[in-house]
A and B are shown apart, each in its own frame.
Chain A
Amino acid sequence: MSQSQVSSAAPDAAVGKKTARPARNGEAARQETEVIDTATLKDWYRQMVLIRRFEEEARAAYQQGKVGGFLHLYIGEEAIAIGAIHALRPEDHIVTHYRDHGHAIARGLDPRRLMAELYGKETGVDKGRGGSMHFADVTKNFWGGYAIVAGHLTIAVGLALAAQRANEKRVAMVFFGDGSTDNGEFYECLNLAAVWKLPVVFVCENNQYGMGVAISKASAVTNVYQKASMANIPAQQVNGMDALEVYAAVSKLVEEARNGGGPRFVEALCYRYQGHSVADPDKYRDKDTLEEWKQRDAIERMRGVLEARGVMAEDLSLVNADVEREIKEVLAFAESSPAPDVSTLFDHIYAQPV
């Protein structure tokens, strides 16, 4: 694909409407990913179940008042984190938005410390300072979730600049929602990444709503991948409910970016099963559309792929049982961890001289 060419798997996909279609290359992508061994796919399945169960428990804890503030759930979008993040190497960078639980778990951050962060405990990944929206772990090159819409894309561009300057073959992947793409910072970032040929992989999770507003009401261009054409960034649209399709597309883009091709852009079509946050009663969306999307559920799809490969249903039930065991540990860890001592309030304000 040339630098100036913008292509799409589904140029006329009717985003935001009931008939939103998965990208047409889904079948080809699945063929490409047939080389992925079944043990790996089982692991991906497990991670998706873990993300969902983690969030269901987080929601319950929120409703019990154990988790406060704002809780934005990723339920329904798990395939994107799994497909995109597994296309990366450990040395690659990840920056994400406030709906960040799925990305953190897919990247391998310790779920016990993530839950502890939600509980505001000292053992949390940010020592309880950040909460749900700011999961981060420098040892995983996971530079965190950010709460300001579009404010974090800049950071990925900077990480990529540093990698380019150091002649490192590392890419910076940034996740953002469709809502971010109506914001001016988005355009500045695309432009810089393109003009400096930086190894940034832009991953738009198009769940078709910016908070309570449908994309068609907020965005003049609803096929978000087309917006990348303003910076001549090669872009495509994929079915974000299919981890394998996401993986196949993103793997290719990651390697192109890694090898000096400049930035790449992918739009993954998806739908959140919940409101914008747990506090959102979600009255603005059509229940039938939500049900249609649930029929394409990413976890069920992966289950189907595994069963087609001959994995027994009992085997997968054991995986689910193992996730339940881990979830119990995760919750026990969060519950039993200490809260930060108030004497630490003034810690971490200025870094010390090296």
Chain B
Amino acid sequence: MSEKTLIEAIREAMDEELARNSEVFITGEDVGPRGGVFRATLGLFAKYGPTRIIDSPLAELSIVAVGIGAAMNGLRPICEIQFADFIQPAYNQIVNEAARIYYRTGGTFTVPMVIRAPYGGGIGGGLYHSQSIEATYSHVPGLKVVIPSNPYDAKGLLKSAIRDNNPVLFLEAKKGYRLIKGEVPEGDYTVPIGPANVTREGTDLTVYAYGMMHFYCQQAAEEVGKEGISVELVDLRTLNPLDKDTVLNSFKKTGKALIVYEDNRFLGYGAEIAAILADEGFNYMDAPIMRLAGPDVPGVPYSHPLQDWFMPGPKKIADAMRKLAAY
């Protein structure tokens, strides 16, 4: 066991799966000798060579489309989209093809592929290098959407994603690549796709989060804990399919819910959680269901003061926790 960063855990998962199964290969922009712009594939080209670590043209549609074809014919591609913002040219391939092929062939053809994409703001990337795309893609049945919040889960979930027989969109908090550290066991283990994780037990209110926001929620929960507010924190981990039992069980316990996400608030992932709580948890409800999210502006603005205003962070989250606890 040793402490690793989020990006190291992701790299280790890919390395081990490449070694374990010759059907696994990686393609994407600059994933080869350069090791990817975030260095997720650093060293893999030297180890596995050009037939398994394949540099693509700057063309996301074909990165995904080729992955689908290869997956249908027995390979297990890991397609890297350099920034989640760049995924949209491949939207048709993901939504109309990858997510539907198993269903439309009556369960005959499978698409065992992973699409990895760094998402989120806070790095000054501006409008085209900061987006959160999880709500758009979680809307698509047939596609799994996973967002790890720590290195242990990142390695275990990515391994599960690579072994899964369905297309999995694996979103990685780029702000957390080197910021988020944690213990990661050497060697093989998996974290199943599906179950959410109660990462902090509490009694006053439940906070639902994932990815980078979960990291900030931990800090905020620690902060308000000193003031006597007991926060239960649920790390959703898999956004589709959602672990409704864990979501509802925690709400049953606390009766108060705050959903934190970085994506635009309107029709964001928190809206679905809020709807489920209202539908199926009405009897437990002690306070209005709260959402803290990115504001509804078209992209994270470049200028630092505006970006800081856009991004939910520990302070805003702690304030929201206090407000909900006081209700």
Contacts and interface: CB of A to CB of B under 8 A. Distances in A.
A184 B30 contact: no
B297 to A, nearest CB: 6
A70 B57 contact: no
Interface in B277-298: 295-298
A284 interface: yes
Contacts of A134: 126-127
Interface stretch (B106-114, B162-170, B303-311): B303-311
B29 A69 contact: no
A340 to B, nearest CB: 5
Interface in A93-148: 120-121, 124, 126-134, 147-148
A339 B303 contact: yes
Contacts of A341: 305
B198 interface: no
Interface string B119-140: 0000111111100000000000
A308 interface: no
Contacts, number: 125
Interface residues of A, number: 43
A150 B58 contact: yes
B297 A346 contact: yes
A50 to B, nearest CB: 23
Contacts of A148: 85-86, 88-89, 128
Given A185-B89, A342-B309, A345-B295, A129 B58 contact: no
A218 B303 contact: no
Contacts of B302: 68-69, 120, 126, 128-131
Contacts of A345: 295, 297, 301, 306, 309-310
27 contacts: A68-B124, A69-B123, A70-B126, A120-B302, A120-B305, A121-B303, A124-B303, A128-B301, A128-B306, A130-B126, A130-B302, A131-B302, A147-B126, A147-B128, A149-B58, A182-B57, A184-B89, A185-B89, A210-B58, A212-B55, A213-B30, A218-B56, A284-B33, A339-B304, A340-B305, A341-B305, A346-B295
A151 B91 CA distance: 14
Given A147-B128, A339-B305, A182 B123 contact: no
Contacts of B129: 69-70, 147
Classify chain B's interface size. Answer: 35 or more
A199 interface: no
Contacts of B58: 149-150, 179-180, 182-183, 210-211, 218
Interface string B166-184: 0000000000000000000
